[in-house]
């Protein structure tokens, strides 16, 4: 059985976790509206304004002038991604990362130890939430 794990609005969620004053505000991580660049991530508040990944930053600013635009901290996000990968390793060594915030996990050989794929997915989500204070989807 293969699980797909995807972090919710990863870069923006990491920023909200580290800076609680951002919670409830529209947060965009990516290029600045004053320069060239695109939205790398938008939290769910920003998405309510129609902002999405890969959108030009100037368009995002036009849709939501009050948005908080943050530069990406890729090295830091990579460190957080490693922490997520360490949680995956507890359940299976067979991991195919797609990006910093998304991976496929082959849990076929893990079901005897941990339960069904659905149970493993719920456990992974719970451990990520408890240890890293981030939200993941596992399907």
Q: Which CATH number fits domain 2-8+74-138: 1.10.1270.20, 3.40.140.10, 3.40.449.10, 3.30.70.270?
A: 3.30.70.270
**Alpha-carbon span 41 to 73, nearest angstrom:** 12
Q: Check: CATH 3.40.1170.60 for 10-70?
A: yes
**Alpha-carbon span 131 to 107, nearest angstrom:** 21
What residues does each domain of the chain span?
A: 2-8+74-138, 10-70
Model pLDDT, residue 45: 98
Give residue-wise pLDDT tens across range 51-100. 999 999 999 999 999 999 999 999 999 999 999 999 999 999 999 999 99
From the list 15, 79, 86, 102, the catalytic residue is: 102
Model pLDDT, residue 34: 77
Residues paired with 41 in a beta bridge: 29
Model pLDDT, residue 75: 98
Give residue-wise pLDDT tens across range 5-25. 999 999 999 999 999 999 999
pTM for this predicted structure: 0.92
Averaged pLDDT, 42-59:
96
Concerning whether 102 is annotated as a catalytic residue, the answer is yes
Model pLDDT, residue 53: 94
């Amino acid at each position: 059985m293969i699980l797909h794990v995807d972090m919710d609005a990863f870069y923006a969620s990491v920023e909200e976790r580290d800076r609680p004053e951002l919670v409830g505000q529209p947060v965009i991580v990516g290029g600045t509206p004053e320069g060239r660049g695109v939205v790398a991530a938008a939290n769910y508040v920003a998405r309510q304004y129609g902002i999405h990944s890969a959108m030009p930053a100037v368009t995002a600013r036009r849709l939501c002038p009050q948005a908080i635009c943050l530069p990406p901290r890729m090295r830091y996000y990579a460190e957080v991604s490693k922490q997520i990968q360490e949680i995956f390793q507890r359940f299976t060594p067979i991991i195919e990362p797609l990006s910093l915030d998304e991976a496929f996990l082959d849990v076929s050989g893990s079901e005897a130890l941990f339960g069904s794929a659905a149970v493993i997915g719920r456990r992974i989500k719970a451990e990520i939430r408890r240890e890293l204070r981030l939200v993941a989807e596992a399907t």
